[in-house]
């Protein structure tokens, strides 16, 4: 699951670090490539924009699902062509649009944004070929659509079709939808894909356009907890491939994309933190670790949500919170002596806590504790400047076994 020897060697040098394993990234990206015929993948940079990770996924032929101008720029700098970078996010400024227009395919998130794109394209003397993000008439968990800050309501697209057709400097060439994350229910994903191909048919008919691309968004989930069954990617891919085949009979020139979301990187990353102290207070034993809340925040958030129940909250609070037991804590020690400990970090706040009174082998100063599922939404969503402590290193374990410190 992770390279213990590489972690043990690295903990001698770094008090806390992420380690991303290239072989696992390749394994998960190959699972997608091998099972989804006729579909292209866009890597969701926001899950982990580490430069070595980007090099690896782009080397697999993936394009980019970019969520900001900075992500667009990092893809360009990593060598991706304009046709491989899809920039979709709510709230783009004039500056974002101007800078992104020549180096990415912008996906407009509102009617007013389409007008801003028209204005910028006119200034540049060009015709911007764009996608539109649609908030469809269907939902992910129910048949009907719902209010959303993302995209343009499907009905609003159709109501504006004459205006959209009349824009001189904007050509709509594709559509994008993303409705849900971290889905482990295969039937829901299959129904969603079916709905998406029907949506493409409707949009083509209403707007009288040939779609260059149809972006189905993300949603393929990861088994975080020990009790989770991994999604059957072969089965999902088989259905998706059949749907694409049928769709291509009508629209042979449309590229169908799926965004990887967290799929290719979550399992590829671990977080390792060094024991900096231990103490017993009023009979309770604390192990003090380096950079927990301020190194990898999601375990602290999971701990801070005391009464989460899936009955009350069927969908978690992604990407900050997936479930109470989304991470495993693995002490790297030879000790066989078991003890009940509370795992805390070295910040001056008592909310810096990841586990309370759990049984584990005795950890001493200098030992490492490894936290799993740290490849996505980890370094990027963590408040690393808290207390001005040094942030964790980000190490990359190549498939040849070399450890690279990526951010120096």
The DSSP call for residue 12 is T
Which strand (E) or helix (H) includes residue 128? strand 128-135
Biggest alpha carbon distance in the chain? 74
Which range of residues in 115-123, 228-236, 256-264, 390-398 is near ligand PLP by CB under 6 A?
Answer: 256-264
Q: Is 261 in the site for ligand PLP (CB under 6 A)?
A: yes
241: number of Cβ within 10 Å? 16
Question: Is the CB of 64 or the CB of 291 nearer to ligand PLP?
Answer: 64
Residue 377 C-beta: closest distance to ligand PLP, Å: 7
Which range of residues in 51-59, 154-162, 167-175, 258-266 is near ligand PLP by CB under 6 A?
Answer: 258-266
Residue 220 C-beta: closest distance to ligand PLP, Å: 7
Question: Is the CB of 217 or the CB of 345 nearer to ligand PLP?
Answer: 217
Among candidate residues 391, 394, 406, 341, the one with its CA nearest the CA of residue 367 = 341
In whole angstroms, what is the distance from residue 407 CA to residue 132 CA? 35
User: What would the two tokens of residue 171 be?
Assistant: 């050509």
Taking CB under 6 A as the criterion, the residue among 316, 319, 345, 375 binding ligand PLP is 319
Residue with tokens 């992420």: 18
In whole angstroms, what is the distance from residue 18 CA to residue 28 CA? 19
With CB atoms as reference, the residue minimizing the distance to ligand PLP is 261
Which range of residues in 11-19, 175-183, 205-213, 298-306 is near ligand PLP by CB under 6 A?
Answer: 175-183
Q: Is 291 in the site for ligand PLP (CB under 6 A)?
A: no
The DSSP call for residue 381 is G
Letter string b/e over residues 7-19, b meaning 16 or more CB atoms within 10 A of that residue's CB: beebbeebbbbbb
Residue 325 C-beta: closest distance to ligand PLP, Å: 19
Taking CB under 6 A as the criterion, the residue among 48, 66, 88, 135 binding ligand PLP is 88
Q: Is 44 in the site for ligand PLP (CB under 6 A)?
A: yes
Among candidate residues 406, 181, 391, 365, the one with its CA nearest the CA of residue 296 = 391
Residue 46 C-beta: closest distance to ligand PLP, Å: 7
User: What would the two tokens of residue 284 be?
Assistant: 């309770």
Q: Is 318 in the site for ligand PLP (CB under 6 A)?
A: yes
Residue 67 C-beta: closest distance to ligand PLP, Å: 7
Q: Is 104 in the site for ligand PLP (CB under 6 A)?
A: no
Contact flags string 178-217 toward ligand PLP, x per CB under 6 A: x--xx----------------------------------x
Taking CB under 6 A as the criterion, the residue among 22, 66, 218, 273 binding ligand PLP is 218
Q: Is 259 in the site for ligand PLP (CB under 6 A)?
A: yes
CA distances from 294 to 278, 321, 385, 394, 408 (A): 19, 16, 7, 14, 19
Residue 114 C-beta: closest distance to ligand PLP, Å: 18
Among candidate residues 367, 379, 358, 232, the one with its CA nearest the CA of residue 289 = 367
Question: Is the CB of 264 or the CB of 330 nearer to ligand PLP?
Answer: 264
Among candidate residues 54, 37, 1, 29, the one with its CA nearest the CA of residue 407 = 54
Residue 321 C-beta: closest distance to ligand PLP, Å: 12
Residue 107 C-beta: closest distance to ligand PLP, Å: 9
Question: Is the CB of 39 or the CB of 288 nearer to ligand PLP?
Answer: 39
Residue 362 C-beta: closest distance to ligand PLP, Å: 37
Q: Name 48's bridge partners.
A: none
Question: Is the CB of 222 or the CB of 243 nearer to ligand PLP?
Answer: 222
Q: Is 65 in the site for ligand PLP (CB under 6 A)?
A: yes
Q: Total number of residues binding ligand PLP (CB under 6 A)? A: 15
CA distances from 112 to 10, 89, 125, 176, 390 (A): 50, 14, 20, 17, 42
DSSP assignment of 290-348, as one string? SSSTTT-HHHHHHHH-TT--TTT-SS-BTTTB--TT---EEEE-----EEEEEEEESSS
Which strand (E) or helix (H) includes residue 23? helix 22-35
User: Applying CB under 6 A, which residues contact ligand PLP?
Assistant: 44, 47, 65, 88, 178, 181-182, 217-219, 259, 261-262, 318-319
């Amino acid at each position: 699951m992770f390279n213990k020897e590489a972690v043990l060697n690295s903990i001698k040098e770094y008090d806390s670090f992420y380690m991303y394993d290239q072989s696992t990234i390749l394994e998960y990206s190959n699972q997608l490539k091998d099972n989804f015929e006729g579909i292209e993948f866009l890597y969701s940079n926001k899950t982990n924009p580490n430069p070595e990770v980007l090099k690896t996924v782009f080397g697999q032929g993936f394009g980019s699902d970019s969520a900001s101008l900075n992500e667009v720029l990092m893809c360009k700098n990593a060598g991706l062509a304009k046709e491989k970078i899809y920039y979709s996010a709510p709230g783009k400024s004039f500056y974002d649009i101007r800078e992104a227009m020549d180096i990415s395919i912008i996906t407009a998130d509102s009617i007013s944004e389409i007008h801003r794109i028209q204005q910028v394209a006119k200034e540049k003397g060009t015709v911007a070929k764009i996608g539109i993000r649609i908030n469809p008439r269907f939902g992910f968990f129910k048949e009907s659509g719902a209010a959303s800050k993302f995209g343009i309501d499907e009905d609003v697209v159709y109501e504006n079709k004459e205006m959209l057709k009349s824009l001189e400097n904007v050509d709509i060439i594709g559509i994008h939808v993303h409705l849900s994350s971290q889905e482990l229910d295969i039937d829901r994903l299959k129904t969603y894909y079916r709905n998406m191909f029907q949506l493409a048919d409707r949009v083509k008919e209403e707007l009288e356009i040939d779609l260059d691309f149809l972006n189905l968004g993300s949603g393929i989930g990861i088994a975080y907890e020990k009790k989770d069954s991994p999604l059957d990617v072969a089965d999902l891919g088989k259905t998706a491939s059949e749907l694409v085949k049928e769709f291509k009979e009508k629209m042979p020139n449309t590229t169908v994309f799926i965004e990887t979301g967290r799929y290719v990187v979550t399992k590829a990353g671990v977080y390792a933190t060094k024991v900096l102290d231990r103490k017993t207070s009023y009979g309770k034993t604390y192990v003090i670790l380096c950079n927990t809340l301020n190194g990898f925040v999601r375990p602290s958030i999971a701990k801070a949500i005391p009464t989460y129940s899936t009955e009350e909250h069927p969908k978690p609070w992604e990407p900050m919170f997936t479930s109470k037991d989304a991470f495993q804590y693995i002490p790297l020690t030879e000790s066989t002596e078991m003890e009940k400990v509370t795992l805390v970090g070295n910040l001056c706040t008592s909310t810096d806590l990841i586990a309370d009174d759990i049984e584990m082998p005795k950890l001493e100063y200098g030992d490492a504790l490894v936290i799993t599922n740290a490849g996505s939404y980890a370094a990027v969503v963590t408040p690393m400047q808290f207390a001005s402590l040094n942030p964790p290193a980000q190490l990359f374990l190549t498939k040849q076994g070399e450890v690279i410190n990526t951010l120096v």
